[in-house]
Amino acid sequence: MCGIVAYIGNKQAQTLLLEGLKRLEYRGYDSAGMATIEDGHVRVVRAVGRVSNLEDKLEDLGGLRGNLGMAHTRWATHGGVTEPNAHPHRDDKSGVCIIHNGIIENYAAIKTYLAEKGHKFTSDTDTEVLAMLIGELYEGDLEAAVQAALREVTGAYAIVVMCEKEPETLVCARKGSPLMVGVGNGEYIVASDGSAIVSHTTQAFHLDDYNVVKITRSGFHTSTIHNVPVNPKVVQLELELQEIELGGFSHFMQKEIFEQPKALRNCFRGRCDIDEGRVVLGGVSGFTKELIKARRVVLTAQGTALHAAMIGEYLIEDLAKIPAVAEYASEFRYRNPIIEDNTVVVAVSQSGETADTLAALREAKDRGALALGVVNVVGSSIARETDAGVYLRVGPEIGVASTKAFVGQVAVLTLVTLFLARRRYMSGDMCAQMMKSLQGVPEKIERILEQDSKIRQVTEKYIERENWLFLGRGYNYPTALEGALKLKEISYIHAEGMPAAEMKHGPIALINEGMPAVFIANRGRQYEKVISNIQEVRSRGGHVIVVATEGDENIKRVAEDVLYVPDIEEPLSPMLTVIPLQLMAYHAAVLRGHDVDKPRNLAKSVTVE
């Protein structure tokens, strides 16, 4: 959530900062602002709403000049969505100016202290408090003032600070919220992620927690908040500019749904040795013995990633014969979890920065668990803090509603399961057969995508209905949860996902005439049971939409609408059955006139608890 971009170099900052903000719009925000140092003075412009509103306001005011500046998109935490609460914020005395992602938990106490010192506050934010604390501690050295201030705060932060008295300096720091520095030719670009950097340089380094970097045009100096020098590693960004542009699609979500076959081919490349009947995962190979000895696997995640983790739970127990459980990361950390010997904890996240998942991971590591990461973003916090892991390799995901990352997470968890299963109980022939089927998933998804227009037509029939049910059993119970979440996220239709058998234990009371009920009824062990559940809904007037296996003509007798997916082994089926649900959610949002890529109140990367 929120977005940071800052620049120091020889170019005019405004154009580059606006471009960076637009690249970061996918993260979710409700206001935006920019500041530069011009002729020794900080100038700030802020606006409520989209970056385009800020751009219009800048044009009306004649723009901001200067070769050093910062910009921000805010997602409200402390204080409402108002222009005074938008970033950047200034100290009222020293000329310090700051942008900030995260939450300062002890801001109230600090605010009382600063008020007693005579500071006057103009916003309701914790960020303005931090700006004034830095200003209060400023004695001619901005880097030292930032370090001193951060030693006094608790919470999470990624900050960029500049000061009128040091107009050639940026100071940045990070704890808990991502921040990286792009290293160009005589210029530096600071941002929340690589999408705001990649069009200018592909060389960058990530700040670690409690790190502070002072940047001038001549170079940078990195230390801890206690002024202990550190040496960050400059790496090549694994990001292509065309990957974060729309191309010929109307929305990033649409683009990413249709990218899934290519994304999975990239995910599988080099990881399936069918001749030997073995999965090759270099990221976990150093811990093979520990993984084989695992007595329990805990998968922890939030949102869409949790639904992928739930499928992972089914996979690991079914195929690798290891007890497994999927846990809400936000609950795992706070319920005194029992971590026994030979427990493996798998943190699943697209961004690798999800605050709750990161906190759960740290709790599990503190209790002795072997920690694995399943993430998409190279160099992210979870990737750096786990003992080992597997990257999704599905490319950047810009749409707030996750699609290709979900399928990638399920694919990687399947690979991890086969990696374990082959080394425990699964024969080489069976593993090879599963890998062949896995490699056939992209082509099968392409066949489903060919039904896009039909899926739109089905969705349009029910678009006025405000309550939907999504039901599945076994491997496709989590898929039903994911289908309901997608519809809620971007169309704002109330939808509930649940195990199909659970419906008659209460939720069946909600069924009324014409209520859409989406069943996942592909061929599998519980197929006949799902048919019985469909009959229960039909007898109470619900309209049934079924995701079924190709060739199943009998299903038409119990459904108003049928969407077919190719046949595949049941453990692999969620990667197919979720595709029609993604497209239904997308078309529902478009038909209802919503901003698909920027759903209200949501952020792409949730970096605060």
> Active-site positions?
2, 604
**Element (DSSP H or E) covering residue 586:** helix 574-591
**Number of Cβ atoms within 10 Å of the Cβ of 450:** 8
User: d(Cα 227, Cα 240) in Å, to the nearest integer?
Assistant: 35
Concatenating the DSSP letter of every residue in 179-247 gives -EEEE-SS-EEEESSGGGTTTT-SEEEEPPTTEEEEEETTEEEEEETT--B--PPPEE----GGGGS-T
The secondary structure of 413-453, three-state, reads HHHHHHHHHHCCCCCHHHHHHHHHHHHCHHHHHHHHHCCHH
Which are the contacts of 595, defined by CB distance < 8 A and separation ≥ 6? none
Structure tokens at 279: 């999965």
Give the amino acid at 504: K
Burial 520-535 (b: 16+ CB within 10 A, else e): bbbebebbeebbebbe
Evaluate the omega torsion of the peptide bond into residue 478 and state whether it is cis, within 30 degrees of 0: no
Pairing of strands 188-191, 3-8: antiparallel
Output helix, strand, coil percentages for the chain, rounded to the nearest 5.
40, 25, 35
Structure tokens at 574: 């969620």
